[in-house]
Amino acid sequence: MFKFYQVAFLAIGMFIALPGSAQVTGGDFQKLFDWYAMEDYERCAYKAESYTRKDKYRRSPEPYMYMALCMYQAHVNPDAFDEEFKDPIKDALKYAYKFRKKDKTGELYAMNKRQIDQIREEALNRANFYFNDEDFYKASSEFKRILKVMPGDQNVAFITGVAMVNARNVTEGDRLVQQALDSLNYQQETRTFEKDEVTHASLIKAFVSYTNYLVEQGQQDKALEIIALGRKLVPDDTTLKGQYRKLYAKAPEPEEDSEDPEQQE
């Protein structure tokens, strides 16, 4: 349970445009909508957290959604709070995960996807920092939390698996990577893959990192196969083009006498 502090409100004018359809006017959670829209995040969060402790509301997704959004505000606008939360983006992901679980139909998530994606994007920024710094243990932990919120996102699944492999959690990492690759191959074959701005940069880095890992493990053919998939999914990406050329330049040349046996007779 969180202890909330007095808020010094600032007119930041951002992230307050919750869709009008996000909640039925006059419902039990109308006050949460109003307080959030008025940037009264402290009151909104305090009340939303109290709803989660009441039997009548603890199974409703709305309080968890507002808790996630308010924790996001504590992350992006810490000066609005007298005291900072220890890790508000982690808390935002925790509540977003609970929100997704309780939103059985997915309707409320669909109406508020933009806001939840902003939480995911902030979390990805931090995960990418650890990934680029080669702190793969922390990176994999961050990505796993994001994956819990977006379990069907195969881009995040692939990125998470790659981070786990680099963190030497190879068994679980390979499982996630293979699961994601099966889906990405299907999306490529059916031409249903869509570029996701939130995960795109991370996905590109994951393709490069994983194929480098495979080459180090002596799995050149598999690396070539996977980087070829990446190029098919995102043909205009210069980073993937460069990795593709680099890996094919390292590929062993076919032996001159390795002719077709039928031609040797």
Give 10-residue mean pLDDT values along the chain (265 residues).
38 39 57 90 89 91 95 84 80 95 92 90 89 88 92 91 94 95 96 87 92 94 96 95 90 52 39
Do 149 and 227 lie in a common domain?
yes
Rg (C-alpha) for the chain, rounded Å, is: 23
| Domain contains 49 | yes
Of 32, 34, 53, 58, which Cα lies nearest the Cα of 44?
32
Do 58 and 142 lie in a common domain?
no
Q: Supply the pLDDT for residue 80.
A: 67
User: Exposed/middle/buried for 180, CB within 10 Å: 0-12, 13-18, 19+?
Assistant: buried
Do 91 and 163 lie in a common domain?
no
Do 192 and 168 lie in a common domain?
yes
Of 202, 233, 82, which Cα lies nearest the Cα of 131?
202
| Domain contains 143 | yes
Do 87 and 197 lie in a common domain?
no
Do 155 and 227 lie in a common domain?
yes
Do 144 and 72 lie in a common domain?
no
Structural domain for 67, as ranges: 21-111
Widest CA span of the chain, in angstroms?
Answer: 88
Q: What is the CATH number of the domain that holds 201?
A: 1.25.40.10
* Chosen domain end from 76, 111, 146: 111
Do 138 and 193 lie in a common domain?
yes
CA distance 126 to 136: 12
Continuous H helices in the chain: 30-37, 41-51, 61-76, 88-102, 107-111, 113-132, 136-149, 154-166, 170-189, 200-216, 220-233, 238-250, 261-264
Do 131 and 91 lie in a common domain?
no
How many structural domains comprise the chain? Answer: 2
Residues 25-60 pLDDT 10s:
445 789 999 989 988 888 888 899 999 999 999 899
| Domain contains 208 | yes
Q: Which one-letter DSSP state was computed for residue 7?
A: B
Do 170 and 83 lie in a common domain?
no
CA distance 39 to 147: 29
Q: Supply the pLDDT for residue 186.
A: 96
| Domain contains 133 | yes
Do 181 and 96 lie in a common domain?
no
Do 172 and 225 lie in a common domain?
yes
**Residue 165, C-beta contacts closer than 8 angstroms, at least 6 positions apart:** 173, 174, 177, 210, 213
Which residue(s) pair with 225 in the sheet?
none
Q: Supply the pLDDT for residue 252.
A: 64
* Chosen domain end from 111, 133, 149: 111
| Domain contains 211 | yes
| Domain contains 90 | yes
| Domain contains 79 | yes
* Chosen domain end from 47, 77, 111: 111
Residues 59-86 pLDDT 10s:
999 999 999 999 999 998 876 666 677 8
| Domain contains 13 | no
